[in-house]
Chain A
Amino acid sequence: MNRKVYLLAILLILLSTASITTKMVRGGQMVSPEFSRHLWRLNIVMNLKGKGMPAKVRLTLPKNTERQTIYNEHFENDEMVFYIRIRDKDLTGNRVGFWRSELLDGSKSVQYTFSAQLKSLICSIPPNLTLPLDPFKSYPQEFHKWLDPSTFIQSKSFSIKHQLKKMIGRQKNTAIVMRRIYDFVRGEIRYRTEKRSKDAKETLKNLVANCGGQARLFVALSRAAGIPSRIVGGIILSGGVKNTTHVWVENYLGGKWIPFDVVNNHFASIPNHYLELYRGDYFLCKHVGLSKFEYFFIIDTEKMPPVDNPWSLYALPIHFQSFAKVLLLIPIGALVVSFCRSVIGIETFGTFGPVLLALAFRGISLWVGLLCLFIIVFCGWILRRILDHLKILVIPRLSIVVTMVVIFILGMMIIGFHFGFQKILFVSLFPMIIITWTIERFSVIQIEDGTPSALKAGLGTMLVAIAAYYLMAVRVLRVYLFAFPELLLMIMALLLVLGRYTGIRLTELWRFRAFNSLDNRPDRRFF
């Protein structure tokens, strides 16, 4: 029997390990080996303060491109209306998140968290490529936007055209032209941080600019030369908190968008810590109707590669992902209960009551939760004693106790909220039926077996709930369970082994302690 159980347990463990490794290897396989890979976790926090009128905030969100994969996205919208639009009309394809509120008064904090897997990119410009004679004819319609001048990129203006002429003369080779433009902007324009980025003309005039001004000049010169060129905005990732963004340039050369960053000297290449957020000469975020707006990025490294197959939990809608997270906690709790019962030997009210209690305590925090539970059970118990005198049939009596438990919980919510203790609202997640049965069992055991027995079972229930709570709070466990639900098979294997544990329960050592004194006890038997 034991052999079969252990075999099955080993089989389950192997199965889950196999599945996990496949996922991990497959997650890694999506990255070609020539790219170095970087995983990051970003949290973009926006603090808003309304002034009692309609408010709207816009933030461009990162997209999956050939060099970046966005996964594990999570939005905390703080009760604001939230929606995502893809900008197809202006050909940028930017992904823009909107947060709206019809009447925003007071402060809000909107958070957007995601993980990104980034690759570096090193390109080369085909050496025999030449500039087209008429760029508007040789490039299809959708590239015209990247050839036309725009407000801050005055590629048709005289000073830009003149500068380009001075640099390249009659040179037609694209690679050489790109190198000249790059060397000019990198060599002649001094870098200085500025409040507002200059446009291309101003930059050329002052010969000093921040990354925005330099990129605009670079784009203007490229467009003047007849190369489709665009600004790309994003964040240079490094651990910590920051609120600076960065822009660089992409030129369409030889059928491919090739990145250039003049400020940090990346010619036709991009390192693996550049996160792209938007394309085109845009702003990262915009807002209307706010009296205060600030944002910052909290950047950390991520350890889990994207498990972005359509069969993973990450594929579920965000809202249901949180349900799945709660579901995953139940087997952990059940494991704790099994261990406490069969190895330690703690008595509890109901088998899985402690698990549900531990789940309910997550919102309200452990000690407050225990206090609330204690108050509810105590009041319920007093009520139950009173009902006993009235000789009510069991089912209606239980229903009365359920109703009273609901009333207590609602009362606690109202009172707690009134005095500004918002967390108390989570008391509504308490498992009311389990609590009712606990009250009932407590009363019955107390009458039948005495108060110590009832208190012992109550204490046991609490201990197991606390243990389950703390194990459920282990973050690593939750994260890995969510990424690899196969781990549940391992929990099953553990439970199988626990199920064949025929050794002594720890509490039995105490129960049979009298045997220790047996040897030195005078034998008072009658024969």
Chain B
Amino acid sequence: MGVKRRTGGFYLRVNPILCDGFGHCHELAPELVRMDEWGYPIIDKEPTPLSDLAALESARYAVRGCPRQALRIERVSET
């Protein structure tokens, strides 16, 4: 797998209706997801650059680990 220069960013998006406040996303991607006092995720409005591979990997784990499948990764291309 060659090193590809990735431009753009990604968002971790949560579907607030599906989300039930399990908190697995915060454990798996603490740099992207903070918790509010009721156990629900607070996600940055700013996109994370794709070059931040560690964050992308955490995001992928968070998406896979969510018991309600409430998370998605959305790509944002730099125009």
A binds B: no
Where the two chains meet, the residues of B that have a C-beta atom closer than 8 Å to any C-beta of A are: none
